[in-house]
Chain A
């Protein structure tokens, strides 16, 4: 019993499961090009039952797959390069971009507060959901400082990303937003990295501004949340 589980819980096997599940997602996505065949969504739907049936708990899985999560922080740094490459398309729109994202981060946090107050949601949950439009490492950083539940933040950020990347392009078309700059910014600021990866499929400029929006949205939200929390108190 113990021996068979020690193999299933080895780092190599957990990495194989993780990357393998994602690869299956990519293959399915290539075959069936639909928003809901999102590789990430498929990988999660595969991994959870597999881990559960192998008796691997999340704590163990998280430890084993830590190497993958660890890459997020350097990736945020690497986005500085993406921004550098696309800056020529962005110059001249700086004021508008800053204005849009400042408004976006304020609306993002306040709308969570408003919905939570209206539904009488516990403060702990509200705090955990406030940074949901922000890229994972920043969101987790914000929540660990405000004392929220890290798993709930991770989930909110995550579902937010998937939801936005599936619904976003359709929704933006419906409300008549067409310029690549606006589409990219909207996708990146509402749905961070996952939205950015979707924006990249629409176009290079969309992807680049979405990448920039991740950073700006992250910084602004990190500033807005403590202020809002102070006001609520």
Chain B
């Protein structure tokens, strides 16, 4: 329960910062940064947020389902522009993957593992 309160508190602070900064960056991103920093600085203990955080991140996929069902109303948009949508999604997804992958994958100097 404490974890839920902490997450909602950070989310609200994040939303406030987002509002004050003109909404350029969404509140939940500020919330994530606040969560990370609070844990790093020991303001929030790991135990108090671990169970709810694990539950949320573990079940993240299902939260995309309502939006995914939105495909049923977007039928016309997709039908009219399917070439553009298809090309955009496939090509750019692979491009982003390759770009990020190649830059991050500097062979020999990877001490990430």
Interface residues of A (CB under 8 A from B): 18-19, 21-22, 39-40, 43-44, 47-48, 51-52, 57-59, 61-62, 65-66, 68-69, 71-85, 87, 89-90, 92-93, 96-97, 99-101, 103-104, 107-108, 111-112, 115-116, 119, 121, 125, 129, 132-133, 136-138, 141-142, 145, 149, 151-152, 154-161, 163-164, 167-168, 171-172, 175, 177-183, 185-187, 189-191, 193-194, 196-197, 205, 209, 211, 213, 215, 218-219, 222-223, 226
What residues on B are CB-neighbors of A158 within 8 Å?
64, 67-68, 70-71
What residues on A are CB-neighbors of B91 within 8 Å?
111, 115
CA distance A111 to B94 in the complex (A): 11
CA distance A26 to B63 in the complex (A): 14
User: Within residues 51 to 99 of chain B, which ones have a CB less than 8 A from any CB in chain A?
Assistant: 52-54, 56-57, 59-74, 77-78, 81, 83-85, 87-99
Nearest chain A CB to B5 CB, angstrom units: 11
B103 A69 Cβ-Cβ under 8 A: no
How many residues of B are in contact with the other chain, CB < 8 A?
Answer: 77
Sampled A-B contacts (15; CB under 8 Å): A18-B66, A43-B62, A62-B70, A68-B65, A69-B67, A75-B56, A78-B53, A84-B40, A107-B99, A121-B81, A132-B88, A155-B78, A158-B67, A158-B70, A160-B89
A66 B66 Cβ-Cβ under 8 A: yes
A185 B101 Cβ-Cβ under 8 A: yes
B62 A22 Cβ-Cβ under 8 A: yes
CA distance A87 to B106 in the complex (A): 19
A164 B97 Cβ-Cβ under 8 A: yes
What residues on B are CB-neighbors of A93 within 8 Å?
104, 110-112
Binary contact track B11-25/A, C-beta < 8 Å → 1, others 0: 100100000000111
CA distance A84 to B61 in the complex (A): 21
What residues on A are CB-neighbors of B104 within 8 Å?
93, 96-97, 100, 179, 181-182, 185-186
A112 B105 Cβ-Cβ under 8 A: no
The interface residues of chain B, by DSSP majority, are classed as helix
The interface residues of chain A, by DSSP majority, are classed as helix
CA distance A146 to B104 in the complex (A): 30
What residues on A are CB-neighbors of B59 within 8 Å?
71
B113 A89 Cβ-Cβ under 8 A: yes
A52 B97 Cβ-Cβ under 8 A: no
Of the candidates B36, B67, B93, the one whose C-beta lies within 8 Å of that of A190 is: B93
B88 A71 Cβ-Cβ under 8 A: no
What residues on A are CB-neighbors of B84 within 8 Å?
115-116, 119, 121, 125
Nearest chain A CB to B90 CB, angstrom units: 6
Q: A19-B62, A103-B100, A151-B73 are in contact. List 13 more A-B contacts (CB 8 A).
A: A22-B65, A57-B73, A69-B66, A72-B63, A80-B34, A136-B67, A137-B26, A158-B67, A159-B85, A178-B105, A186-B100, A191-B93, A205-B112
What residues on B are CB-neighbors of A187 within 8 Å?
97
B8 A172 Cβ-Cβ under 8 A: no
Nearest chain B CB to A118 CB, angstrom units: 9
Cβ-closest chain B residue relative to A191: B93
B95 A75 Cβ-Cβ under 8 A: no
